[in-house]
Amino acid sequence: MIPALSQVGDRMFQLTGVRAIMKDIIETLRSGAGREFINLSAGNPVLLPEVEQLWRDCTAELLASSEYSEVVCRYGSSQGYQPLIEAVLEDFNQRYGLNYSDRNVLITGGSQALYFLAANALGGYTQSGDLKQIVLPLSPDYTGYGGMTLEPESLKAYQPHLEINEKTHRFKYHPDFSKLEINAQTGFVLFSRPSNPSGNLLSDEEVEKIAAMAAPHSVLVFVDSAYAAPYPALNYAPMTPIFGENIVHCMSLSKAGLPGERVGIALGDERIIQVLEAFLTNLCLHSSRYGQAIAARAIRSGALAELSETVIRPHYQAKFATLESALDEAMPDSVPWYLHQGEGSIFGWLWLKDLPMTDWEFYQRLKAVGVILVPGDAFFPGLREAWDHTQQCFRISLTADHGEIAIAMQRLAEVARQVYG
């Protein structure tokens, strides 16, 4: 029996963004096609022994304490597990000189859930029928933003300004402030910093400028800090998390080694925290408490922040250096290639300017030589105008080992040489 789906059911049933490509990748890997693939598509963080040990130690402590039954065998509050809320508050207030209270924090089941709540509480149609837009000020951005809203027409992304260095084959995105509009029709603004997929890091000034444009219209700015300092600290360029009355600082513990436990954290004005909390109660009562309890221990002891700086960041930064040198060595002069400056995240982002085929076709050519990257087209959710750049980019995961990254880039360089002729 196939049930008749509502509009919302139909929308949520669609495979959006990278999930559609992942289906092809999983089928390719499963079929094997008689060969070993170098898979540079993964978004799952690497299991780093020190980080895994931290979570094991926190779990052992929890198991041995009387807190265990409170955490696992009881319902809790929708806002989150109090010891985690307190640990986050103490750390952030002290680290960044803030004055947040426990009314300013909400724990969600992963940060994807947080964006779903925000997208549908602040974006979409108002009581009077106006459409409130979700503004993504710099496209490309996280593909998951494409599936978070029940009203897809509310998503509006802006083409960025490109800073290109022809000599070094590097480039960088900036918000194009001459085009960006934030006004009374804006529901909220959202961007990842550092960014998945490009590894771009909006500067402190750029974030402050966006927040200042939003403030007169009482528009909130959600800063997706899934890769930011202090955990997982996957910024390779210096950054300061920016806080303010209309800024909601959003965190995820997934890239700090806890993706399976689904812990997202929002820090912001208590009025928006209340709105999101009520939505979350209706959705799922509260987030799972085991992950929250071990996270509270890891944050309170300072171990999570320390391992983020000493283990997690250096691991991916070294992989990015391998990617850079492999491309610098292997790419032929005939190809106009540009790697986005590596300022953070667990990905590299390659732009093949004037690529004489689509990103999807190039992806198929790479598969034929045993390399899997993610074609870039999925990372421009909400961008309405045609832009050939969207079909000339590729996301390269830094989760493979150094040797695999180097070999994959040699094969990519050879394929590029052939297709550019």
Ligand X SMILES: Cc1ncc(COP(=O)(O)O)c(C=O)c1O
Chain residues binding ligand X by CB under 6 A are: 43, 110-112, 142, 144, 192, 196, 224, 226, 252, 254, 259, 264
**Shortest distance in whole angstroms from residue 271 CB to ligand X:** 23
Q: Which is nearer to ligand X, 43 or 187 (CB)?
A: 43
The nearer residue to ligand X, 76 or 259, going by C-beta atoms, is: 259
Minimum CB distance to ligand X, residue 168 (Å): 26
Token couple for 360? 């999807």
Instruction: Give the separation between CA 279 and CA 288, rounded to whole angstroms.
Output: 16
- CB closer to ligand X out of 337 and 394: 394
Secondary structure tally for the chain: helices H, strands E: 13, 16
Residue closer to ligand X by CB (options 43, 124) is 43
Give min distance, CB of 106 to ligand X, in A.
13
Which is closer to ligand X, CB of 256 or CB of 272? 256
Nearer to ligand X, 110 or 241 (CB): 110
Kindly list the distances between the CA atom of residue 264 and the CA atoms of 141, 261, 286, 307, in Å, as whole numbers in the listed order: 18, 10, 12, 19
Closest C-alpha to 44, from 311, 193, 254: 254
Beta strands in 47-104 (DSSP E): none
| Longest Cα–Cα distance in the chain | 68
On whether the CB atoms of residues 275 and 121 are closer than 8 A, the answer is yes
Q: Residue 186 has which token pair?
A: 């804006």
Cβ nearer to ligand X, comparing 79 with 252 = 252
Beta carbon of residue 197, minimum distance to ligand X (angstroms, whole number): 8
φ, ψ (nearest 5 deg) of residue 107? -105, 130
The closest of 188, 156, 143 to 384, measured between CA atoms, is 156
Is 251 or 416 the residue whose CB approaches ligand X more closely?
A: 251
The distance from CA 203 to its chain's CA centroid, rounded to whole angstroms, is 17
**Of 330 and 346, which has the nearer Cβ to ligand X?**
346
CB of 234 to ligand X, least distance (A): 10
Q: How far is the CB of 226 from ligand X (least distance, A)?
A: 4
Look at residue 136 and give its three-state secondary structure.
Answer: strand
Nearest approach in angstroms of CB 332 to ligand X is 32
In angstroms, the CA 222 to CA 62 distance is 33
Spatial neighbors of 319 by CB under 8 A, at least 6 apart, are 398, 399, 400, 402, 405
How far are the Cα atoms of 56, 148, 159, 248, 250 from residue 112, in angstroms, in the given order?
25, 8, 23, 14, 10
Number of alpha carbons in the 13 Å side-chain half-sphere of residue 218: 4
Element (H, E) at 192: strand 186-192
* 191 vs 379: CA distance, rounded Å: 12
Question: Nearer Cβ to ligand X, position 20 or 184?
Answer: 20
Query: C-alpha distances in angstroms, 355 versus 94, 148, 305, 331, 363?
Result: 49, 31, 41, 14, 12
Instruction: Count how many residues are written for the chain.
Output: 421
Measured from the CB of residue 112, what is the shortest distance to ligand X in angstroms? 3
Q: What is the DSSP-derived secondary structure letter of residue 140?
A: S
What's the rounded Cα separation, in Å, for the pair 355 and 362? 9
Minimum distance, C-beta of residue 104 to ligand X, in the bound complex (Å): 19
Minimum gap (Å) between residue 223 Cβ and ligand X:
11
Q: By C-beta, is 169 or 200 nearer to ligand X?
A: 200
Straight-line distance from the first to the last Cα atom of the chain, in angstroms, rounded to the nearest whole number: 52
Residue 367 CB, nearest distance to ligand X (Å)? Answer: 23
